[in-house]
Amino acid sequence: MNRCECPTHESLGCLSNHAAFAARNYLTRQLALHGIDMTIEQFKVMVVLWKEGSSTQQNIADFVGKDKTSVTRLIAGLEKRSLIQRATACQDKRCNHVTLTRQGIALEQPTMKVLEEATRYLHEGIDPDDLAIALRVLKQMCLTLNYTPKESE
């Protein structure tokens, strides 16, 4: 079945994919409107670092669900903008340790505020009981598929 044939009104998978795509686009626009130049993938990297303070590149890759090469590109972009810095771990030269810079730390509060406002808007008009059911159903789908999303997702 190709994308055009996907019965979105009957498929939880297709409909949740469309909703996730629309939500990502909305959050990207909101970040830009607030002067925050960051992709959703970069945002995920920053969330890990805001939560952990610092991390290895491999741990970040595991959290954001990307391969190490993709995360290397994301980190390079954030490093170029002076939001993070990388250093080779002393004990293992293959292991990069990533930490936030002052600019990266300062970006947490305004970025998370935009996320909170966007989430509030996305949940607007949804009955809290219905939202709880939707979350429970999506979590069950993840369990059925043996997929455990990380807290940052």
For residue 2, the 8-state DSSP code is -
pLDDT of residue 103: 96
Q: Which helix (H) or strand (E) holds 56?
A: strand 54-56
Residues in the chain predicted with pLDDT less than 70, given as ranges, are 1-9, 89-90, 92-94, 149-153
Can you give the pLDDT at residue 70? 92
Q: Please report where in the chains the tokens 């607007």 appear, as a residue.
A: 124
CATH number of the domain to which 55 belongs: 1.10.10.10
For residue 93, the SS3 value is coil
Q: Is residue 91 part of a domain?
A: yes
φ, ψ dihedrals at 96, nearest 5°: -95, 135
Tell me what pLDDT residue 11 has. Answer: 81
Tokens matching residue 2: 């190709």
Number of domains the chain is built from: 1
The answer to whether position 7 is within a domain reads: no
Quickly list H helices, 1-153.
12-33, 40-52, 57-64, 68-80, 102-123, 128-144
CA distance linking residue 23 with residue 19, whole number of Å:
6
Report field, pTM of the whole predicted structure over 0.85: no
Residue 6 inside a domain? The answer is: no
Question: Which domain covers residue 102, as residue numbers?
Answer: 15-144
**pLDDT value, residue 102:** 96
Residue 152 lies in a domain: no
Residue at 140 is within a domain: yes
Say how many residues make up the chain: 153
Per-residue pLDDT tens over the stretch 91-128:
766 678 899 999 999 999 999 999 999 999 999 999 99
